[in-house]
Chains A and B, each alone.
Chain A
Amino acid sequence: MSRQRKHEDSSLISKVLSITTIVLISLFFIDSSEQLISDGFIQRFITNLDSTWR
């Protein structure tokens, strides 16, 4: 019984670790995307595209 419990705990720890890491990496990408937009990326793109067409 105790051995089974130990195995379940192990799975739980690895589950928590895996999911938390995936969530943090996803948050990193969301944060980077926000940074990209706040850096004026869209504005720069429109301006440069406009000047290219002209």
Chain B
Amino acid sequence: MANIKSNLFPMIKVFAWLSLAAAFVIGHISNKTDYNVLLKQAFPGIELVKSPADNGDLFLYDWTTPKTDDPNWVVVGQAQGYGGPLVVATAIVETDSGVRTQYVRLIAHKETPPYVERLVKKQFFRQLGNSSVTDDFLLTQDVDGYSGATVTARAVSQAIRGSVHVMATDKFGMEPTWTAEPWVFGWDEIGMLLLVSITLIISLKTKHKIINALKLILPIASLIFVGFYTNASLSVGSFAGLFLGYLPGLKQHPIWWILMGTIFLGIILMGRNLYCNKLCPYAAVQSLLHSITGLNMKVPKWLNKYGRSLILTMIWASFILIFLSGHPALGTYEPFSMMFALEGVGLQWYILPLSLFGACFIPDFWCRYFCPVGLIINESVKLRRKALNRFKRQLA
């Protein structure tokens, strides 16, 4: 029996890695962005022909036989949203008052659906029509943003901005009169830097009154700021997205870079997990619930024994789904969006109350037995330790 087990585990490991590699390749082939196909779906019955002005930077299509009120062109732009790249088609019309946008369509995206629905409901896309192609298209400046979907709104604005400005210069030879893309850096980013600094100070392990006080403050601050205020908590999708190259722009989304940078800094330079029980807002929720009830129930033995394998299986399933679909939201089973932004889909709504209910009876119920982020970071720390030890042995 023991022999079968010892043979079986390496085989499962090999299968897991091979299937992940296969899913990555299959997904890459399946999810190739073909603007022609996307435009056909977005503008059914309309024949759009690649414009002669179309080049490597400008994706421009002529609207053949335009009738009254029809646009003359459709220009396509792409930018990084929260979940991955999103593609926007902007209908352009040439009028007496100049070259203007007529309307905007989001033709492909990898965002969590409720965030896009929120923008549609708030008529975000409508405000982008009837603007000059030389406008700035900058969120919070000439484009209104909406709290709770800021990253998606910013990515849509950026996709339009990039495409129509290239069209203005390349096709119409206009001089750039628009404002250069500014850095998004305000109180939110300062707040995140402050939280990260507190985390680093606490990690120094110094025994001091102030540090003890900071240890108490940090989870509450993370819950409010990382959770409810910025809704920046990390999920399995954030890590799978890295493999797919879904990196949000540093200028547009510095909060993501500060948070991810801190985690990687912790793993590589310090060999520590700086996220769990420090910056993670959901860990704070779990601790808070447990401290309210004070209950400490035992978990079934099998859960303790196979807990790690269980999370690894869930991470594997998440990564397979994300690699195949190219859509991080499809494999993200954590209920963080529901908890902190009241946005979720399907079964995630049932996972949230259950995990909260579990935390009332079992300390860190979600973190210990179901959280993929914690395991990914902890395994990376272990891997770093192993590599370092091997390196030291080789030197000795």
Is residue A4 contacting chain B, with contact meaning CB distance below 8 A? no
Is residue A13 contacting chain B, with contact meaning CB distance below 8 A? yes
Known interface pairs A35-B330, A45-B30, A48-B32; A28-B348 also in contact (CB < 8 Å): yes
CA distance A27 to B314 in the complex (A): 12
CA distance A18 to B30 in the complex (A): 36
Smallest CB–CB gap between A20 and chain B, Å?
6
Most buried by A among B26, B325, B347: B347
B350-396 residues at the A interface, CB under 8 angstroms: 350-351, 354-355, 357-358, 361-362, 365, 369-370
Known interface pairs A13-B297, A44-B31; A25-B303 also in contact (CB < 8 Å): no
Measured between beta carbons, the chain A residues less than 8 angstroms from B351 are 21, 24-25, 28
Smallest CB–CB gap between B200 and chain A, Å?
33
In the complex formed, the residue of A with least CB distance to B32 is: A48
Is residue A49 contacting chain B, with contact meaning CB distance below 8 A? yes
Measured between beta carbons, the chain B residues less than 8 angstroms from A33 are 321
**Contact sample, A vs B, 28 pairs, CB 8 Å cutoff:** A7-B298, A10-B361, A14-B298, A14-B362, A17-B357, A17-B365, A18-B369, A21-B351, A25-B314, A25-B333, A25-B351, A28-B346, A28-B347, A29-B317, A29-B333, A31-B346, A31-B347, A32-B325, A32-B330, A33-B321, A36-B324, A44-B31, A45-B29, A48-B29, A48-B30, A48-B32, A48-B34, A49-B29
> Are A21 and B355 in contact, with the CB atoms below 8 A?
yes
Tell me the dominant secondary structure on chain B's binding face.
helix
Smallest CB–CB gap between B359 and chain A, Å?
10
3 pairs of A and B residues whose beta carbons are closest in the complex: A45-B30, A10-B297, A28-B347
Measured between beta carbons, the chain B residues less than 8 angstroms from A14 are 297-300, 303, 358, 361-362
Measured between beta carbons, the chain A residues less than 8 angstroms from B321 are 29, 32-33, 36
Measured between beta carbons, the chain A residues less than 8 angstroms from B362 are 14, 17
Q: Which residues of A contact B (CB under 8 A)?
A: 7, 10-11, 13-15, 17-18, 20-22, 24-25, 27-29, 31-33, 35-36, 39, 41, 44-45, 48-49, 52
Most buried by A among B34, B300, B357, B362: B300
Smallest CB–CB gap between B218 and chain A, Å?
27
Smallest CB–CB gap between B235 and chain A, Å?
13
CA distance A29 to B318 in the complex (A): 8
Is residue B331 contacting chain A, with contact meaning CB distance below 8 A? yes
CA distance A48 to B348 in the complex (A): 32
Is residue B310 contacting chain A, with contact meaning CB distance below 8 A? yes
CA distance A23 to B290 in the complex (A): 23
CA distance A48 to B27 in the complex (A): 11
Most buried by A among B30, B298, B361: B30
> Are A41 and B30 in contact, with the CB atoms below 8 A?
yes
CA distance A45 to B321 in the complex (A): 14
Instruction: List 14 additional A-B contacts (Cβ < 8 Å) besides A10-B361, A11-B297.
Output: A13-B297, A14-B297, A17-B357, A17-B361, A18-B369, A25-B370, A28-B346, A29-B317, A29-B331, A31-B346, A32-B330, A39-B325, A41-B325, A49-B29
Measured between beta carbons, the chain A residues less than 8 angstroms from B361 are 10, 13-14, 17
Smallest CB–CB gap between A7 and chain B, Å?
8
CA distance A21 to B354 in the complex (A): 7
